[in-house]
Amino acid sequence: MNGDDEKVLDTYRSFLLLSEISGEQQLSQRELAKRLGIALGLVNSYLKNLVAKGFVRVANFPRNRYAYLLTPKGFAEKSRLAYQHLSYFSGLYTVARQDYLTLFKSLSAQGVRTVAFCGIDEVAEIAYLSLKEAGLELSLAMDSEGSGRKFFDHPVVTPAIGLLSGNHRIVITSLKRGGVLREELIRLGVDQSRICMAEGRGL
């Protein structure tokens, strides 16, 4: 991932955090980490940064519980980031949709009928639409972060757990963590021929 991608990812995560905090529920750091599918330590780091910038304030509740609330400045920042990412993700959607459709049609031509996803984020949702269009089915959703969530009715499990269920053809469906996830799968003993990545202008 180059510096521009890192910057986009950084501001996107800030936007997601601000969006979650602006809701009616009072969420703990652990709850925020689970909702966003990122590490607890990373959530802590982002929150400290947002508090330091005056976008978020911390409220203390009984039983040593903290709640995070958006300041007026934070609401303005959330709106700014929403506009900024709208153009980026509309472009990402178009490219990723076509790249994954090409990949899944190729797999279908090889006789593949079901695949496992590894890396569950916004790109995985785009990949799922292309998967259905190509007439394939999702057998398994894996991610080393955020396991326990649901992805289109599939429970998200860690690769170590998911690989126990059989020799799936595995498609990497994360733009930001693709390389790391591929390395993890290989480290867990997956043959490289079973790992697929969409190749194209945006992935």
pLDDT, tens only, 135-193: 999 999 999 876 778 888 899 999 999 998 888 899 999 877 888 899 999 999 999 99
202 burial via Cβ count (<10 Å: 0-12, 13-18, 19+): middle
Both tokens of 133, joined, read 């269009």
Asked if 73 and 40 count as a contact pair (C-beta separation under 8 A), the reply is no
Domain count, the chain: 2
Shared domain for 109 and 181, answered yes or no, is yes
Distance, first Cα to last Cα, the chain? 10
**Would residue 148 count as lying in a domain?**
yes
pTM of the model: 0.59
Tell me, yes or no, whether 18 and 108 share the same domain: no
Task: Please check whether residues 50 and 100 belong to one and the same domain.
Answer: no
> In Å, what is the CA distance from 159 to each residue of 23, 98, 126, 153, 163?
32, 26, 21, 18, 6
Dist CA 187 CA 189 (whole Å): 5
In a domain, 187, yes or no: yes
What is the reported pLDDT for 6?
67
